[in-house]
Amino acid sequence: MDSKGAKGGFKKLMRSFGYASEGVVSAWKSEQNFRIHTCMGMIVLVMAALLHVSKVEWMVILILIFLMHSLEMVNTAIEKAVDLSTPDYHPLAKLAKDLGSGAVLLFAICSAIIGLIIFIPKIVAIF
């Protein structure tokens, strides 16, 4: 039975992980914002370690970092699908891209606010 007819199997699962990994690598290679989010995430992780955040704060920080990356990849997928569907300018294509970018922006703002809520009291306590 070929992979399309198979209901599961370890090989199919491994291929799925392979395709997903290719997507992450592609985002890293082609998307400047993905790399910026990665660098910012690494800075946040170092700060969290230095400031000894709690387990719950660690969980929140990790969720925010991974959701930011996921949302950036979804936005990129929207952009690529729109580009594939229409090579010419179309107001709805622009709107779809703007909405995807707007979603990333809103989540970045939310993440920054949560980061400030977590980090400011710890930084103030040092001084």
pLDDT digits (tens, 9 = 90+) for 76-112: 999 999 999 988 999 999 999 999 999 999 999 999 9
101 belongs to an annotated ligand binding site:
yes
At 25-38, the pLDDT tens digits run 999 999 999 999 99
Q: Which structure tokens are listed for 3?
A: 């992979």
In total, how many domains does the chain have? 1
- Domain range holding 56? 32-126
**CATH number of the domain encompassing residue 63:** 1.10.287.3610
1 located within any domain: no
Residue 18 lies in a domain: no
- Convert the pLDDT of each residue in 40-64 to its tens digit: 999 999 999 999 999 999 999 999 9
97 labelled binding-site residue: yes
17 lies in a domain? no
Whether residue 84 lies inside any domain: the answer is yes
69 CA to centre of own chain: 1
**Is residue 63 situated within a structural domain?**
yes
| Residues involved in catalysis | 72
Q: Would the annotation count 57 as a binding residue?
A: no
Evaluate whether residue 16 is within a structural domain: no
